[in-house]
């Protein structure tokens, strides 16, 4: 048996570390947090200083049992979870859950998984930092209180099954407010005047020094140019330089991986985690741009070896982000001599990005020569300006250039070498164009630009950006999608061969790719929270809370005092809103129905966004219609709403049953014999004929027959079907796997029921245990599981309290009062 037990939070990390240590060490994984706040209640004792109530997660009981057994058999236990607040909390929970002897337990930290880093950490162990633990616990408790009190309020006042969170609601607000800006935006047009001039067989591209807003003035200028003379009045050359960007932080890595690789924020963190756990990069949750002396030395060796001395320039960067956390290093390769990563394609691509950025940060500036050529127009004050840019020394650009989120046209003219031109030279225009351009609305957020905005506002931290953005999408408050653009007419006035030609042309504009859009329910929840809990989703307040967590982490503020200050004003507001606030539907009057004179409203109903014909208070029951995909409560018009009320529409009979055309949330369909058949994209449901509806039904039936292995006369709901992963049994809306030793074609009706019953018992048994732990209602079996879980939890809690009181310091007890993990409820 090994003398030393090392506990980390992931199996991949354990495997890498185990490769560096000898036979005297056993490395095991806790698979993340082993304890959490109990789920069926608030999990926080509001009457006793906000003391948290922890339970060992049901799926971690076996892990805890194995770790506890190994810890007792080992002479020394080393807690090697990540070095941030989350990792510190995991280490503390392990001490409590495993009932570890503090005399033989040590905490080791490292920001990279290399042999030298691990050896150094083992030689320099420390005790648990309870300030870091308390900061993490304060976040967890605060987020739990906000979630548990606001979410039920949303169920009652807005719509069932909604949730609110302290950071997620602020992220939704950012996206909603940007969408409101866009909806209010009125584009203004200007004419961009460009001129191409002939010179020694080459073309000089230029742009007028100012834009012209009026069509008549733009045409007047073009007509003037028919007879005007063009003379070079000035040739200006200026040296310039570009400096490299700092090494990656979590935020900038997420942004750049989105721009250059097309990765989502969550994918970037997943891939980075793999690289870190396999020892290829440093810790990936950091807001530091600092590089260690060793890293700067490694970069120098690589640059001198690959590019030579003139390409090297050592730099130390300073962190500027609000409330930067612990002094980690920037994200960099552990060994810069490794130009490629081991692993899958995604790991290789992300590693290459990190390697290039790190190396570039220690390289010389790029030297640039900028040239501006000014051309006078006889009889006019305006000038044409040609701009060129030549790289005279590439420096860091040999390796890497940072991307940008800027969607605006730079308008800087041509890049590269301009034709050789002298002052006083007369030029002849090849063409001069005045093209009508339109101002652009503020850009919608991508995941990457949202991270950037959150960082600028001081909202969240490196470990919370990705979970926050994933959460608001999973909960249906925000969608990430592409949206088609629209056609727009514009004027083009051109001078070609001394003739002025004016044309109206059409362009496609407004296309959006992978942008974040608020849903109707996201807009409504944001409006509700702004009406009653403006301070909770106030940007300044959220940043202030993050700053208080930082103070707790540095031992400058008590966690329970911070929670008490917040809750003392928050809870009364919840109570007041529950008692006094009306039902909040975000109702919008669109106008009157021309046929009946009844009001038509757009609102949120029990099942989502809809339009309503008639008033709720009237004697006659209102009619309702769901919105189509792509329609929104904020933008739907009266005319579009009237179209929705044309459905459902009966178009005839087939097989003795009605054929009904209707529109659902996911598009138009035909209903026949209580079954639904989607109408193919591009076909207008209002024009659908009976014959075409029958074709759609029969085509679907044919597809179903092709995937049907066997049906049974005893019950038409029982079928054996072909699925994506093989044959399975379908009974109504439930599906059941067919055991590998069974031949699908040979199964009888009774066999299918038996397989379903056996699968059902197994499913109910496991679900019952899980549900009992969550405190939900259910069957007698679930209730039994709940009783058993409660007893175990109570006994473990009592045991934990006893052990803690006898062997922990005052700081440990304080930490114990504030535990949990960082994710929002």
Q: At what angle do helices 265-277 and 11-18 cross, to 10 degrees?
A: 30
The 8-class DSSP code of residue 497 comes to T
Reading the block at residue 632, the tokens are: 């929104």
Give the number of residues written for the chain. Answer: 825
DSSP 11-70: HHHHHHHHTTS-TTEEEEE--S-SEEE-SSS--EETTTTTEE-EEE-GGGHHHHHHHHHH
283 is a catalytic site residue:
yes
| Closest to 609 measured CA to CA, from 538, 665, 551, 526 | 665
The β-bridge partners of 720 are 710, 729
Alpha carbons 415 and 417: distance in angstroms, whole number: 7
By CB atoms closer than 10 A (0-12, 13-18, 19+), residue 460 is: buried
Query: Does the N-terminal peptide bond of residue 648 adopt cis geometry, omega within 30 degrees of 0?
Result: yes
The 8-class DSSP code of residue 309 comes to G
Dihedral (Cα; 497, 499, 505, 509), 10-degree rounding: 60
Q: How far is CA 817 from CA 56, 391, 559, in A?
A: 16, 60, 9
* Contact yes or no for 5/76 (Cβ under 8 A): yes
Reading the block at residue 392, the tokens are: 């005279």
* Contact yes or no for 465/451 (Cβ under 8 A): yes
**Residue in 263, 283, 400, 445 annotated catalytic:** 283
* Contact yes or no for 9/81 (Cβ under 8 A): yes
SS (H, E, C) 162-200: CCCCHHHHHHHHHHHHHHHHHHHCCCCEEEEEEEEEEEC
The β-bridge partners of 372 are 236, 387
Q: At what angle do helices 749-774 and 780-807 cross, to 10 degrees?
A: 30
Place of tokens 């073009």: 222
Place of tokens 């579009």: 640
* Contact yes or no for 55/102 (Cβ under 8 A): no
SS (H, E, C) 271-284: HHHHHHHCCCEECC
The β-bridge partners of 57 are none
| Closest to 248 measured CA to CA, from 328, 346, 339, 364 | 328
Dihedral (Cα; 724, 729, 734, 740), 10-degree rounding: -70
The catalytic residue positions are: 283
């Amino acid at each position: 048996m090994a003398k030393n037990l090392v506990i980390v939070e992931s199996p991949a990390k354990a495997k890498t570390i185990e490769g560096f240590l000898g036979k005297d060490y056993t490395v095991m994984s806790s698979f993340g947090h082993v304890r959490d706040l109990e789920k069926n209640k608030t999990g926080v004792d509001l009457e006793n200083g906000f003391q948290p109530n922890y339970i060992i997660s049901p799926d971690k009981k076996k892990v805890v049992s194995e770790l506890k057994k190994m810890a007792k058999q080992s002479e020394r236990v080393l807690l090697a979870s990540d070095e941030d607040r989350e990792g510190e909390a995991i280490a503390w929970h392990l001490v409590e859950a495993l009932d570890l002897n503090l005399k033989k337990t040590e905490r080791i930290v490292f920001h990279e998984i290399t042999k030298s880093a691990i050896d150094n950490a083992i030689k320099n162990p420390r005790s648990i930092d309870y300030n870091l633990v308390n900061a993490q616990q304060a976040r967890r408790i605060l987020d739990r209180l906000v979630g548990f009190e606001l979410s039920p309020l949303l169920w009652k006042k807005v719509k069932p099954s909604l949730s609110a969170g302290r950071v997620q609601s602020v992220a939704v607000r950012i996206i909603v407010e940007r969408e409101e800006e866009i909806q209010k935006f009125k584009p203004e047009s200007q004419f961009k005047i460009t001129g191409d001039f002939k010179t020694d067989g080459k073309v000089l591209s230029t742009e007028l020094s100012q834009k012209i807003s009026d069509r008549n003035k733009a045409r007047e200028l073009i007509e003037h140019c028919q007879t005007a003379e063009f003379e070079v009045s000035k040739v200006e050359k200026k040296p310039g330089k570009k400096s490299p960007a700092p090494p990656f932080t979590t935020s900038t890595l997420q942004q750049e991986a989105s721009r250059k690789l097309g990765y989502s924020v969550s994918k970037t963190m997943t891939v980075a985690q793999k690289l870190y756990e396999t020892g290829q990069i440093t810790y990936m949750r950091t807001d530091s741009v600092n590089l260690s002396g060793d890293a700067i030395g490694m970069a120098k060796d690589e640059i001198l070896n690959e590019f030579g001395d003139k390409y090297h320039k050592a730099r130390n960067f300073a962190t500027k982000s609000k409330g930067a956390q612990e002094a980690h290093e920037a994200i960099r390769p552990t060994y810069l001599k490794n130009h490629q990563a081991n692993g899958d394609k995604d790991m290789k691509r992300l590693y290459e990005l990190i390697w290039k950025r790190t190396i570039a940060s220690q390289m010389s500036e790029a030297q640039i020569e900028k040239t501006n050529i000014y051309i006078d127009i006889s009889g006019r004050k305006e000038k044409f300006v040609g701009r060129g840019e030549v790289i005279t020394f590439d420096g860091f650009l040999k390796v890497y250039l940072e991307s940008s989120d800027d969607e605006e046209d730079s308008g800087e003219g041509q890049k590269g070498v301009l034709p050789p031109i002298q002052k006083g030279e007369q030029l002849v225009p090849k063409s001069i164009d005045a093209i009508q351009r339109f101002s652009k609305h503020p850009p919608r957020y991508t995941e990457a630009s949202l991270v950037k905005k959150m960082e600028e506002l001081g909202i969240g931290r490196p470990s919370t950006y990705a979970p926050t953005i994933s959460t608001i999408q999973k909960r249906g408050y925000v969608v990430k999608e592409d949206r088609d653009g629209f056609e727009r007419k514009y004027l083009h006035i051109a001078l070609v061969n001394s003739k002025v030609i004016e044309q109206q042309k059409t362009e496609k504009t407004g296309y959006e790719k992978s942008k974040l859009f608020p849903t109707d329910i996201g807009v409504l929840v944001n409006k509700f929270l702004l009406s009653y809990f403006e301070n909770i989703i106030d940007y300044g307040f959220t940043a202030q809370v993050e700053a208080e967590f930082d103070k707790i982490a540095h031992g400058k503020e008590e966690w329970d005092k911070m929670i008490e200050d917040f809750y003392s004003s928050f809870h009364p507001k919840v109570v007041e809103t529950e008692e006094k606030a009306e039902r909040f539907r975000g109702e919008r009057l669109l106008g009157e129905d021309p046929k009946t004179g009844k009001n038509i409203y757009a609102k949120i109903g029990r099942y989502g966004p809809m339009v309503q014909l008639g008033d709720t208070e009237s004697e006659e029951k209102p009619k309702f219609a769901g919105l189509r995909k792509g329609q929104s409560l904020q933008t739907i018009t009266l005319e579009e709403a009237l179209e929705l009320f044309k459905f459902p529409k009966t178009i005839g009979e087939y097989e003795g049953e009605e054929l009904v055309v209707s529109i659902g949330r996911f598009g138009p369909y035909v209903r026949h014999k209580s079954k639904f058949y989607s109408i193919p994209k591009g076909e207008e449901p209002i024009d659908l004929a009976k014959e075409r509806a029958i074709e759609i039904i029969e085509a679907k039936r044919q597809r179903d027959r092709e995937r049907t292995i066997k049906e049974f006369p005893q019950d038409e709901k029982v079928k054996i079907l072909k699925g994506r992963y093989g044959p399975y049994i379908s009974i109504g809306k439930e599906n059941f796997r067919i055991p590998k030793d069974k031949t699908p074609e040979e199964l009888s009706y009774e066999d299918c029921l038996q397989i379903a019953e056996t699968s059902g018992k197994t499913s109910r048994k496991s679900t019952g245990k899980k549900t009992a732990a969550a405190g939900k209602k259910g069957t007698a079996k679930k209730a039994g599981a709940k009783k058993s879980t409660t007893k175990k939890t109570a006994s473990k809690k009592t045991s934990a309290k006893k052990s803690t009181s006898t062997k922990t310091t005052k700081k440990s007890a304080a930490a114990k009062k504030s535990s949990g993990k960082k994710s929002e409820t």
